[in-house]
Structures are given as C-alpha cells and as structure tokens.
C-alpha cells in the first residue's frame, strides 16, 4: 500500500463506499437476529471505528495530529455540549417536517414501534451505543478521517463536504434523517475545523444523541402525532443559539491549515459516484416502499 502523510480523498471515498455497503448488508442480517442494540455495536466498532484505525496504523499516522484526537479547553467542551443540545431541536424539527411531508406526498412506511423490539439488555446496549459509542466511533471516522481527507481537497470547506457525507450516510436510517444529520455534521465539522480537536465534535454528538433520547424518547416528542406549536420557535431559537455558541468557540485553525489543495484521483471520483448511486438506490427503495411498490 502506498504511504501518504495523511488521508486522501481517494482513500476516504473507497472506505466510505465499503462502509456504507457493509453496514447496510450487515444490519439486514444481524439486526433482526441479534437485536438493534447489538447490531449498533457491531456497526460502530467493526465497520466505523476499526477501518480508519487500521489505516492509521498501517500508514503510520499520528491519531493526535492526523485525526486530531486531542483535547480542548473546558470552555470549548462546554460550548460544544450546549450547541449539541440546542441544534438537536432544529434537527428534530427538520426531521419531523420531512417525515410529515413524505407521509403526505408518498404514503406512510410500514414500521414497527420501537417498543416491539425492546428487551432490557438490547435497550441498555442501544442507549450506551447512542450516547457513548456512536459519538466516539462516528466522529473518529467522519471528522477524524473523512474530514481530514477532504480538508486536503478543500482546506476551507472540507468540513462541509464531510458533514454532507455524514448526513447522506444517514439515508440508511431513512430519508427524513439526511438533512438534519447533514446540518449536525456540518456543525460538528466546523467545531473540529475551528478548534483542531475531535473532543468538541464528540461532545457535541454525545449531547445531541442524549437529547434525542431525553426529549425525543422520554418526553415523547418523537412519537407525538402532531408537532407542538412551540417547536417552531424552539427550532429557530436552537439554530440561532447554536450559531452564537459556535462563533463563541475559541479557534485554533492555523495548526492544520497549511496544506496544498489535493486533486481527487479518478479512483476517488469513481467511488464517490458509486456511493452517491448507492445512497440514491437506498432512497429510491424507501420511496418505493412508501408508494407500496415494494413491501
């Protein structure tokens, strides 16, 4: 394997495509048999954390310098946590709006209520997976590895591309998740871009996922058939507050900036196209299911 000083877009695109395909295939096999909690752990550890970790070992990359696995100030940590909570409301609002729109225009997708799958152990695995594992593993992958690669392609807007890739990956959870997850991804990417620390995005991600459990699950927002009217204001307020919080974060952008722009190789372009086609197929499958064309 050819050694590179840092991740390239070609490496990122190949790995991203393989991760998306394998995660979906594996979930189809394991989720009904082992439970959704265990399935989440397999996805996070095996397909999301392990590949960039192995690649870093093979390539001899420093996790601190290349993946920015380093700490930040207490102030930045606190601001990241608060931003994660506040932006979750906006993301939830967008997700619900999209769901209502798709339900009205394309039909409802048949689904089983979450309670139907729960066993105590699976519930604990799911909670731990969402609040601890997913934020660490996914940030390692998307902000540590993918964003590092795309910042070589576009030093200024690499975090935006990585954020959109993060959002598009969530099409595997449903069309409704793409826009909100992209928004969260861009915000987390910005934190890492600005602070040069993966700790900020991990904490943001933890706060957002914990909010999803607390406000979405425990308070019943996720299962409410009609969105409460105050959500319109909370969603807007959440967005404004997040922008203020993100601007308030202490920046250290210069440490990872002086890189030459890298062109994307033909192989990188090919795998990016394949990934887009794969996600389009996943989206089309959901649309077909909503229209009742497939079961």
Partner 1 sequence: MKRTVFVILLLSLLVGIPLMILDALQKSQSQFNVPDRFTKLVVDLNTNTKADELLLERQLEGPATVELFIQSDSGSLKEVKLVSTGEILGLDGNTLDFQVGRLTGTQATAATVLLGPGKYALYLTSPKQAGTLVIGYQEIPADPKEFERLTKVHQGDLDNPPPGYRKVYSADLRGLEVQDELIFTLSPTSPQSVGISLYTSARRGTVSVDIVGGGSNWLSVISTEHRICDQMELTLPPGEYQIKLTSQDADGELYLFLKGYEEGR
CB 202 within 8 A of CB 49: no
For 273, the 3-state DSSP assignment is helix
| Structure-token pair, residue 81 | 């946590």
* Piece of the chain touching partner 1 by CB under 8 A; list 17-25, 65-73, 81-89, 251-259: 65-73
For the bound state, the minimum distance from the C-beta of residue 121 to partner 1, rounded and expressed in Å, comes to 4
* Piece of the chain touching partner 1 by CB under 8 A; list 1-9, 154-162, 192-200, 263-271: 192-200
Nearer to partner 1, 194 or 268 (CB): 194
Residues 6+ apart with CB under 8 A from 178: 167, 168, 170, 171
Looking at residue 6, the DSSP 8-state letter turns out to be S
What x-and-dash track marks residues 125-164 binding partner 1 by CB under 8 A?
A: x--xx--xx--x---x------------------------
Residues 6+ apart with CB under 8 A from 8: 149, 152, 262, 265, 268
Nearer to partner 1, 5 or 292 (CB): 292
| Structure-token pair, residue 269 | 């372009």
For the bound state, the minimum distance from the C-beta of residue 85 to partner 1, rounded and expressed in Å, comes to 20
Longest dimension (CA), the chain: 56
85 binds partner 1 (CB under 8 A): no
For the bound state, the minimum distance from the C-beta of residue 215 to partner 1, rounded and expressed in Å, comes to 18
Nearer to partner 1, 22 or 136 (CB): 136
User: In angstroms, what is the C-alpha Rg of the chain?
Assistant: 19
Residues 6+ apart with CB under 8 A from 288: 294
For the bound state, the minimum distance from the C-beta of residue 45 to partner 1, rounded and expressed in Å, comes to 8
113 binds partner 1 (CB under 8 A): yes
Nearer to partner 1, 22 or 128 (CB): 128
255 binds partner 1 (CB under 8 A): no
31 binds partner 1 (CB under 8 A): no
Nearer to partner 1, 127 or 243 (CB): 127
Its sign, for the CA torsion 50, 56, 60, 61, is negative
| Structure-token pair, residue 248 | 């308030």
231 binds partner 1 (CB under 8 A): no
60 binds partner 1 (CB under 8 A): no
Among 22, 31, 46, 49, binds partner 1 (CB under 8 A): 49
CB 102 within 8 A of CB 177: no
Nearest CA to 192 out of 142, 242, 239 is that of: 142
For the bound state, the minimum distance from the C-beta of residue 103 to partner 1, rounded and expressed in Å, comes to 11
φ and ψ at 284, to 5 degrees?
A: -65, -35
Among 1, 74, 112, 258, binds partner 1 (CB under 8 A): 112
* Piece of the chain touching partner 1 by CB under 8 A; list 32-40, 157-165, 187-195, 236-244: 32-40
CB 167 within 8 A of CB 183: yes
Nearest CA to 146 out of 3, 280, 271 is that of: 271
By the criterion CB under 8 A, which residues form the site for partner 1? 34-35, 37-38, 41, 45, 49, 63-64, 69-71, 107-108, 110-113, 115-125, 128-129, 132-133, 136, 140, 197-199, 202, 292
């Amino acid at each position: 394997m050819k050694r590179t000083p840092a991740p390239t877009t070609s490496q990122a695109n190949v790995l991203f495509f393989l991760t998306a395909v394998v995660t979906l295939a594996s979930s189809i096999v394991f989720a009904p048999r082992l439970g959704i909690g265990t399935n989440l752990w397999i996805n996070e550890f095996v397909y999301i954390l392990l590949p960039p970790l192995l690649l870093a070992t093979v390539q001899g990359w420093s996790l601190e310098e290349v993946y920015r696995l380093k700490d930040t100030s207490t102030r930045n940590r606190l601001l990241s946590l608060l931003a994660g909570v506040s932006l979750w409301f906006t993301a939830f609002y967008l997700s619900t709006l999209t769901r209502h729109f798709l339900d009205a225009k394309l039909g409802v997708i048949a689904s089983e209520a979450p309670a139907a799958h729960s066993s105590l152990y699976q519930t604990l695995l799911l909670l731990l997976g969402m609040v601890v594992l997913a934020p660490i593993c996914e940030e390692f992958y998307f902000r540590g590895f993918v964003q590092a690669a795309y910042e070589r392609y576009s030093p200024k807007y690499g975090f935006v591309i990585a954020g959109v890739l993060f959002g598009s990956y969530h099409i595997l959870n449903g069309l409704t998740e793409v826009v909100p997850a992209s928004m969260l991804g861009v915000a987390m990417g910005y934190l890492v871009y600005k602070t040069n620390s993966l700790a900020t995005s991990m904490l943001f991600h933890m706060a957002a996922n914990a909010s999803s459990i607390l406000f979405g699950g425990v308070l019943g927002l996720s299962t409410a058939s009609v969105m409460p009217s105050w959500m319109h204001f909370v969603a807007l307020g959440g967005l404004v507050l997040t922008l203020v919080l993100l601007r308030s974060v202490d920046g250290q952008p210069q440490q990872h900036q002086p890189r030459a722009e890298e062109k994307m190789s033909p192989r990188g372009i090919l795998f990016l196209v394949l990934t887009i086609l794969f996600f389009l197929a996943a989206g089309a499958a959901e649309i077909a299911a909503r229209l009742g064309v497939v079961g």
